Structure 1
């Protein structure tokens, strides 16, 4: 075995990249800092690195490379480990970092037999007093783990970037499952094998990096009190796997403290029962103070049930092992009130507290449903950002209310909606059917095609609510169904409309409505337009065009949904054949963490900045557009007969109910990470902005049953 010994003091080849390698891994190392620069599979033709480094992430700060980190040793005393003594061999390495009162020893070994890269971080108290490294907060100690989760271009991301599904809030059973965005395996996984994690944070999000990178990840170890001379370790194993099932199977085999949990529902309604299935290594004992777990034929599998007796988050702690060797892990469930009552309360809140009066001083806003600040307890009229104006995504409030009124009667709510609809046809849309990005008369704005299908949705729901003739712009008289057709036709008159991937085009529902109304001429006209759009999406395939974000869940979702809706209406197998690839790429955005905010919720990480009060970057779990994945799963189940996708769709929609309170308040996003660029996360942004599409989608899928 060839041995290379490096120190900062005397190394003839200082600065030259060093390597570890095996039949399963090729690892490049910065000898000056001890950080990993790349992790690749030797047989990968694309030579994709699964972590960020100088070759694939040139904007990455040098101090946030893999395996570096920091610890807070007191007030104004954050210390970074980055200057080690390094020893590198072909299949192992060590890096020793000496800090003020603390030593950090990092060891890495390539396990030839097990096909893994095993890492350990040992923290030793070299001072004279006891220390608790995360005494101030979970983020007081962190290890940089920059997963390669960035959106450059479609061509690049499908081969060279990965979705990072992070589960760092599970305590002793924490893990990360990476999936190549283009789905070609094998994929990289990480499972904790010793110690515990207390969360994860994000750095390097700003107006420079904007929405096209998820940022730099940090994992937060949970370190107990260290007495002088005492040490504590956190270790994990990285390995290759084929899919989620393979990942969980290997996780159980590779880690004695790994727990895989499946739940019948991650968000339950009060009164329901949640069934849990807990899998761990064969022979391991698993217990919980909250749920009675019964072993299943000594296979390392346990089952149990929890009664959802009161609303709110339910943390379930699972203990693996006995005595001094036991470890604790956590999962998170949510319990919500009756969903119909929740929706009714939300609608009452909108119509009584989020609508500007018709005599409001600024007539470009008068009658509109608007953003509401839950801290200020009032409507936001002073925020001039486009994502807070009285158009665009806010149309979702009108769509929700119009859907609800089709099954419920409330004269006050209907009067509010009629006022709002009058606002939309006079202030958001001109007489030709053109949809404006800002209210007419407020300012001139560039075309935003995203807005158009939402107005189509509103016209369709108003048509189903009676299709009453309305007048706009003084003398433009039309029914909502005619306005729907005008909006669709005007949409496709815009340059490159067929190249766009719009959200919520009401293809199946509109065609069904006009067919049931006996308006076959309109059916054929709409079908012609939407067929041309679907053919273009099928032709483009996986070469998705960049939109407001280069590559994202809500680009892939409409591609799948448009094709699936065309299939559901026409039963033409070509549409289903074209949809399969989009659907599988869409699924890849969704993780399977044992947390109601994360499970099957698509990765999104910019909406808090664009739509929230606090202008916070970082992972938004959940975010209401994650329900697009649920819609796609619903239609995919209809197309294939695989009803498991309907179950998953229901879970996704229910997961978004954390964005609403029982009294009817809405919150635009949950900022999930522990911190983002040092700002505290783990909270609901105070703005009620655009989250009501989640409730509208619940009603929409009910109507498709």
Structure 2
């Protein structure tokens, strides 16, 4: 049947909302709710230029032992009083039958029938669910887009499509029959860039392309005359909590992470067997104690009496101090080029973990010897402050790094360069607070007033270059630290000079509301987290407009993190471009967790008492736990664990081999363990 986008859509009631279905192929085109009339929830053909009929809801592909196929419009659509049924012939022997029904929720059943005479092995199978998870602008994101929090834990699977402003209602997809073992992403490339999440494909399996994804992907053998089937419902809910109450989890956990000599306690909701990394675990009634002697992540399988199987991931570590000690040892031994010229031998560089080779590439902006690599020096600095590294060795390393930065990364007027040489050694506002804060702490550690003077000069230059209209990660924290030290030295006037641009910036951003300017990405978690910190530290607490702005920003920020029951996902903010910019493999797609996830934790930790909630406190804890996932068992932790099974057909669900800028996760955790002065 030919595609025809001109016919008026079919409208069905879905609870208090509606779903629009294409009259020709029966596919959902948009969901509508009276409280959010401009939000379509799904990508819109024409308006979202990169989204076409090829990735409409329900389109997809299958890889079998008898061939590989993508399907388009169905061959027939039968519309009846109770709903509609579509039939699509796929190859010679397969037929996809989809039934849809309206009501309290949209109910869908997919059946992949074997119409041939021999069994067919289904090795990968994916269905497009084109959630409108895009960053066209901050205003569009907050008013019309949604975060798609995806959970594919086998028989325990769902998607929470939550408006980016953190307000209800939410749209939820809940699997009711069958299993979803992974998801993949399509349409991610330099043309679509960093501002779109891509087409999210839900998958009963992706064995053909990535057999080890999510702990292992199944192969389904479909006998002649039988079908591989799954069903889900899609409906509106008042908020996140209301949706989660309907997802029927087989187990809950008191934590997703445990340290040395600790255990995670699971509580079964129904009779089931439990295994950790394939090893059965005894249950005590409905309780199960999960332990592991080896540090790292572990898969947990829950098999119910009905044979429905769910899988998730937990983390076991040997503690923060042990992780930091190991990591700093590797930083000092492997992340510096001892053969470099002059002071460059003290710079920290990315390392390809597959070879141990440093990767200083001044022609690629995120592989320089400056910018985000400053986090490595900050980690060494705070490990020394806590007494977790050798004082003499770390002193030499930090002194050398400070001389390198003064000579090669900072100009006389305080301008901060992105690297010491090459096409990308120009200035970038993000880099200013990181070096200012480093030199402020360096001044305290080694009693050097000239380092505090340099920190002041860097922050003044940031303000001069337009920093008050830019949400630089860490500026509010750096200004607070520098001002604190100025006051400690008896120079209150200089402290006020350091902090006044932040007060001006808070006024400016309060006046902007949802119209936040684009940064390196049009809208993202690391635009909102510095906004929260700015308003928390430098907003006007007695001004109702400022208080409301902070409340809004906190809600926006927390919405980036989903409630999936998995150490890499729970509360971790969505980021989906860092693998391309910072990794060796140049993979776009969801990175869980990314190290900048922790700036959500630092922002929420900066809140005044009146703004702190149980939910914000819990999100802080979950993010700090997740931030250790890539460090727990790796000497060279990855800069980007790209989580989906595949990105445009390339296998993912694995760490990128480049160890690059990830150390901010540990550095900011240690900085949060502040001691005086």
Secondary structure, aligned partner of 1:288: strand
CA deviations on 1:625-665 (whole Å, 9 max, x unpaired) are: 01011112222375545466344313212212122254632
Kindly state the Cα deviation for residue 177 of structure 1 after the two structures are TM-superposed: 0.5
Secondary structure, aligned partner of 2:78: strand
Tell me if the contact between 1:371 and 1:379 (Cα under 8 Å) persists in the aligned partners.
yes
Secondary structure, aligned partner of 2:325: helix
Query: Pairwise mapping of residues 139-150 of structure 1 onto structure 2 (< 5 A)?
Result: 140-150=124-134
CA deviations on 1:92-147 (whole Å, 9 max, x unpaired) are: 21111112211110011012xxx10001101111111112212xxxxx21111111
CA deviations on 1:472-497 (whole Å, 9 max, x unpaired) are: xxxxxxx1111111111111111x32
Secondary structure, aligned partner of 1:332: strand
Tell me if the contact between 1:391 and 1:437 (Cα under 8 Å) persists in the aligned partners.
yes
- The corresponding residue for 1:16 is 7
Q: Does 1:312 align with 2:296?
A: yes
Q: Which moved more, 1:335-344 or 1:69-78?
A: 69-78
Q: Does 1:602 align with 2:573?
A: yes
- The corresponding residue for 1:463 is 443
Tell me if the contact between 2:343 and 2:400 (Cα under 8 Å) persists in the aligned partners.
no
CA deviations on 1:179-205 (whole Å, 9 max, x unpaired) are: 111233211001100000110000001
Tell me if the contact between 2:459 and 2:479 (Cα under 8 Å) persists in the aligned partners.
no
2:434 pairs with 431, 434, 454, which one? 454
CA deviations on 1:598-641 (whole Å, 9 max, x unpaired) are: 11100000000000001000000110001011112222375545
- The corresponding residue for 1:40 is 32
- The corresponding residue for 2:59 is 68
Q: 1:219 to 1:443 in 2, by over 3 A?
A: closer
Q: Does 1:268 align with 2:258?
A: yes
Q: Does 1:160 align with 2:144?
A: yes
- The corresponding residue for 1:428 is 409
1:177 pairs with 156, 160, 163, which one? 160
Q: Does 1:224 align with 2:215?
A: no
Q: Does 1:86 align with 2:86?
A: no
- The corresponding residue for 2:178 is 195
**Runs of 5+ in structure 1 lacking a partner?**
1-7, 135-139, 253-257, 296-301, 470-478
Tell me if the contact between 2:55 and 2:130 (Cα under 8 Å) persists in the aligned partners.
yes
Q: 1:665 to 1:181 in 2, by over 3 A?
A: same
- The corresponding residue for 2:239 is 243
Structure 1 Cα separation of the partners of residues 325 and 39 of structure 2: 49
Kindly state the Cα deviation for residue 82 of structure 1 after the two structures are TM-superposed: 3.1
TM-score, normalization: structure 2? 0.91
Pairwise CA RMSD = 2.5
Tell me if the contact between 1:19 and 1:90 (Cα under 8 Å) persists in the aligned partners.
no
- The corresponding residue for 1:532 is 504
Secondary structure, aligned partner of 2:203: strand
Structure 2 Cα separation of the partners of residues 89 and 304 of structure 1: 48
Secondary structure, aligned partner of 2:585: coil
Report the number of matched residues.
652
Secondary structure, aligned partner of 2:576: coil
Structure 2 Cα separation of the partners of residues 415 and 466 of structure 1: 12
- The corresponding residue for 1:298 is none
Q: Which moved more, 1:511-520 or 1:50-59?
A: 511-520
Secondary structure, aligned partner of 1:250: coil
Q: 1:152 to 1:341 in 2, by over 3 A?
A: same
Q: Which runs of 4+ in 1 moved over 6 A?
A: none
Q: Does 1:354 align with 2:354?
A: no
Tell me if the contact between 1:608 and 1:671 (Cα under 8 Å) persists in the aligned partners.
yes
Q: 1:663 to 1:315 in 2, by over 3 A?
A: closer
2:522 pairs with 514, 535, 550, which one? 550
- The corresponding residue for 1:119 is 108
Structure 2 Cα separation of the partners of residues 70 and 319 of structure 1: 28
Structure 2 Cα separation of the partners of residues 366 and 374 of structure 1: 19
Q: Does 1:493 align with 2:479?
A: no
**Runs of 5+ in structure 2 lacking a partner?**
206-218
Kindly state the Cα deviation for residue 383 of structure 1 after the two structures are TM-superposed: 6.3
Kindly state the Cα deviation for residue 40 of structure 1 after the two structures are TM-superposed: 1.9
